[in-house]
Chains A and B, each alone.
Chain A
């Protein structure tokens, strides 16, 4: 009995050593957090495992996730077994998963890097996250490149937008035909708007993401603004809004100043910031191509 157990333990230890101990093996990274995942991928680091890839591919879209990355299931309830079987040597987690850390530590060392924290603007934290990921993965250069590329991308979009009339923008997410959520100046999208030299029509804080649902009539307060709609657009909103008298009364709607951008992750990192800047400037330069209707 004792011998059997000891043999089992030895075998397990040997197996663990075989993967982790060998110096020749490349380090194997895993992450639960989507902002960290997109940052890693943008730095050219392919993790062995990440969470909820089905939805990530649909919502965050870029960077593309190579098929060999193991999907460990939902972010809220990841499969620790799948993560264990992927045999990571370092796991990147964020404050959202603080509760799971003791279990993650049983699989591999955990490094916690949080892009979103209360009362702290996310853009600088996203840059910091890229730097820390660079240090942890030994790709400091790639991290510097990503930060530079993000700044350059935003700068390019800012230059392009100089050709477009300066109007305030309001970035929203439609809940149904009667409600929207708005991204305030303290959200990632709000910060990118500021860096693009544009005005966010919504001046109140929204606690680094979107606000609680707001009645659609509140859009009347911004007659001058561009309304930027982020997906997903619920089917009944798409059906009912064109028939709605309130919606039709908004000067922005009458003037065709409603845009719909491609899908993006509202809790993203630097790649999301870059994507937002690029898609927004493209849409504003060619509003006909991105018109919401």
Chain B
């Protein structure tokens, strides 16, 4: 019945399955939506979308599949401030095109062209994987924009009905494909979990109780023990800026996964290579930083150290004092790296650059050497191996 919707959703990478589709049909046959288009929209959304990040994709697909389902309101276009639209045309059409259109039929044509243009842009956004990537080129960037939006914005204040709700695209902000796949990463990170008994004895140790009761000649002797907790402590050092910008997406994935998985997680940033200082907040990196020696003093050797970076830089940045691209460093990056590695017994380097490219970058090879070949790719397999090496 709604095959198009189903397959279009699948094509738009909204994870829908047959089970959900059948649920929708079942709900339809129970007449939950009561023959109202809005209600059908709500119902199908509730059935088919299970994550708020996909709500916006759903709205877009729904809009394109059921285009023209409801008559657009008449006369609402006129309510848009004209100046606003003129500005838009300036942004989206070249002078030449404007002249052309002027010749063709004036304002209305321009509007049509503008709409077409915006739709195209919409599609390009949709195809692209992330807002950030395209944000720089489009004047409207992450906000996205379509003329439909204006019309509806106007409409809404008068009365709420008769608005194509899905065109409002209220969930736009949640559409950020970044977190896709974190579950996989989390499962890999779980390898790091180290349970130990810690704290007050408040859990019954059944085995021990039975054993000591038997030894006690049958008189009960209850044994308690502390609860098991995840005691692994992770110190995460992340490379930011410069060559790492290409990898921001995967980095964010990793980061959001680690955030929720460990209780004891501290993260700091560095640029390209470790030097005498790191920082906590990337926006204030030039004013508020923390000496690397303080890290060594603060966190004990039982913390597991994970570097994340592409290790792609000039070799000077690693081996020579003063090699840093950002400031004058008294001691070479290598010295600081080794200091850290001496202190933290368990460490590894996660590298988002695909492993097959590693041998072509000298600095990467050097870091690999310093790390004692504990550098792993940012893939599920690499993470898995990395976590194994940390757990050892």
Is chain B found bound to chain A in the same assembly? no
Residues of B within 8 A of A (CB): none
